[in-house]
Amino acid sequence: MNTPWKLFALAGIASAAIAIGVAELVAAFVGPSSSPLTAVAGAVVDRVPRSLEQFGVQTFGSWDKPLLTVVVILVVAGAAALAGVLARRHIGFGLGVIAVFAVVGALAAIERPDSTSYAVIPTLVGAGAAMLALSPLVRRAAEASTAPDSRRSAGPADVGGAAGSAPGAADTPWLGGGGASRRTFLLLAGGTAGAAVVAGGAGRLLARWRGVSEQRAAIRLPAPASPAPPVPAGAKLDVAGITPWTTPNVDFYRVDTAFVLPQVNPDTYRLRIHGRVRRELTLTYDDLLGLPLVERDITLACVSNEVGGDLTGNARWLGVRLKDLLDRVEPDADADQLVGRSADGWTCGTPTAACRDGRDAILAVGMNGEPLPIAHGFPVRMVVPGLYGYVSATKWLVDLELSRFGDFDAYWVPRGWSQQAPIKTASRIDTPRASAEVSGTVTVAGVAWAQRRGITKVEVRVDSGAWQPATLAASDSTDTWRQWSWRWDTTSAGPGNHALEVRATDATGVTQSAEPRPPAPNGSEGYHRVDVEVR
Ligand SMILES: Nc1nc2c(c(=O)[nH]1)N[C@H]1C(S)=C(S)[C@@H](COP(=O)(O)O)O[C@H]1N2
Ligand SMILES: [Mo]
């Protein structure tokens, strides 16, 4: 039998192995779910019908995930073998298959709940390694398959592959006869696969050793001493396409500078409160859990949110009142800035007064009923109603220093953002979506927010016509967003393109300004506009 295609298949498999191994190693640094293997397996689980998923769990128990990973590896190996064989015709075919897999892996990685765009890095570095490995492997495979000693006669003496072949190569009858060039190829392919296994194994070990997912999973949060007030019945509108009132953790926007997610171990956690204080205080994670906890619904917003953007979310936070802790350290009267520092050195400056004026400023340990997700600041973050995230919401918080605005500029201030930044009144149209085709009577709906002040009016207009009052959902608190809806009889507008706009008024009587402003330096302004087509 003529065997060279097997050499090319092996070349492909070795390249795929190095891709996966390198990606695992890089993923150990970038974050738990950025491994393309883990991400693709997760993406498969998300798409598999419930019944099949249950069958998997029932049949294989906790082995279902490792088994799925093995299946993914086998599929990749099959495709890689094919890529190797195709690469024999032209290296471009092999590189093309690698590129396709890189795109699938990268898409799966960014789709993971706690991912950022950095999550594509392990896949891309892995694919790069595979592309580098493929051409020397294919070249060696070609040399091995054209070398005279590999052309085998069909004579009986050759059965078993031993006759006339060099020592050593005789151990691989599956690949046919031997020869120096074949040995060189097998060494290269074997070495590549070996390096892949070492890199992948090291990556998995490192990820486990660095990560705090297990510590997080073991945490049982205490019940709040002060539970969240019940959300009024009419606060959540039943309108298709509107943002849910509570943002699930997996959908909650994520904004931070962390290239690699900080892994802060709750067992060794220390929070130091110091600076311009009468007495310093250092607390462990258990100290914090032992204090009376409050639970509150609070809507967070990012200053970078464009008009109509989605960098805002509403969650149920559980944590310790910041005021209680500040009362214990007794800040100096002139300590007007509370500087938060994260485990990875990011800083944030919050007006001390905002943390002591009676609002629900908290050091949060829980988010929507579970310990903070790692991406959202596990084990401890700050949440201060009414202030944009960059001046209030330090994640992976390890240090609080009482300071003065005149003495210290936090991370974003020298980069052109304001020292102080209360959240501006804003409103958004969630449905219909831009370019939607609508007809008949349409429910236009969305959310509006003005943390600390509350929303008292939302208005909608069509094609810059007269402002029409929208119907407000029940108000929860001034610190949460408020849903609204408006019935639009599209026949009055007639067929064609029409512009919907929204504006909100807060409880101080101030209406959003029409003048568009960009997010920098302290939050975007202007009306959200959605263009739709009436049919
Ligand atoms: N450690 C740290 N905390 C941070 C940031 C950061 O870059 N690093 N970004 C802040 C910004 S700009 C915002 S808007 C909020 C976002 O919180 P989220 O990612 O949980 O939605 O976190 C804040 N806390
Ligand atoms: Mo932000």
Which among 395, 396, 413 is the best mutation to test ligand 1's pocket, defined by most ligand atoms within 8 Å of the CB? 395
Q: DSSP letter at 252?
A: S
Q: Which DSSP string corresponds to 27-73?
A: HHHH-GGG-HHHHHHHHHHHHS-HHHHHHHHHHHGGGHHHHHHHHHH
The residue whose CB lies within 8 Å of the most ligand 1 atoms, and thus the one to mutate among 390, 413, 449, is 390
Following CA atoms 333, 337, 338, 339 in sequence, which dihedral angle do they give, to the nearest 10 degrees? -140
Pocket test for ligand 1, best of 116, 253, 256 (most atoms within 8 A of CB): 256
* Number of C-beta neighbours around residue 15 at 10 A: 32
Atom of ligand 1 nearest to the CA of 302: 14
Burial class (CB in 10 A: 0-12, 13-18, 19+), 58: exposed
> What is the per-residue pLDDT for 47?
80
Q: Which residues contact 345 (CB under 8 A, 6 or more apart)?
A: none
pLDDT of residue 256: 87
Task: Let me know the angle formed at the C-alpha of 303 by 277 and 457, rounded to the nearest 5 degrees.
Answer: 110
End-to-end alpha carbon distance in the chain: 67
Closest residue (by CA) to atom 6 of ligand 1? 256
pLDDT in tens, 195-214: 999 999 999 898 888 889 88
Q: Which residues sit with Cβ closer than 5 angstroms to ligand 2, an ion? A: 255, 302, 389-390
Query: Cα dist. 341→63, 260, 282, 336, 435 in Å?
Result: 40, 16, 14, 16, 43
pLDDT at 54: 66
- What is residue 441's predicted lDDT score, i.e. its pLDDT? 97
- Residue 61 confidence (pLDDT): 64
The residues near 512 (Cβ < 8 Å, ≥ 6 apart) are 424, 425, 426, 427, 503, 504, 505, 525, 526, 527
**Ligand 1: residues whose CB is within 6 Å?**
252-257, 300, 302, 342, 346, 376, 389-390, 393-396
For residue 420, report the distance from its CA to the centre of ligand 1, in Å. Answer: 16
Distance of alpha carbon 345 from alpha carbon 155, whole angstroms? 72
Which atom of ligand 1 sits closest to the CA of residue 256? 7
Q: Show the low-confidence residues of the chain (pLDDT under 50).
A: 1, 150-171, 173
Q: What is the pLDDT of residues 316-353, one digit of tens each?
A: 999 999 999 999 999 999 999 999 999 988 999 999 99
- What domains sit in the chain, N to C, each tagged with a CATH number? 4-209 (no CATH), 249-403 (3.90.420.10), 426-534 (2.60.40.650)
**CB 507 within 8 Å of CB 456:** yes
CA 262 to ligand 1: nearest atom: 1
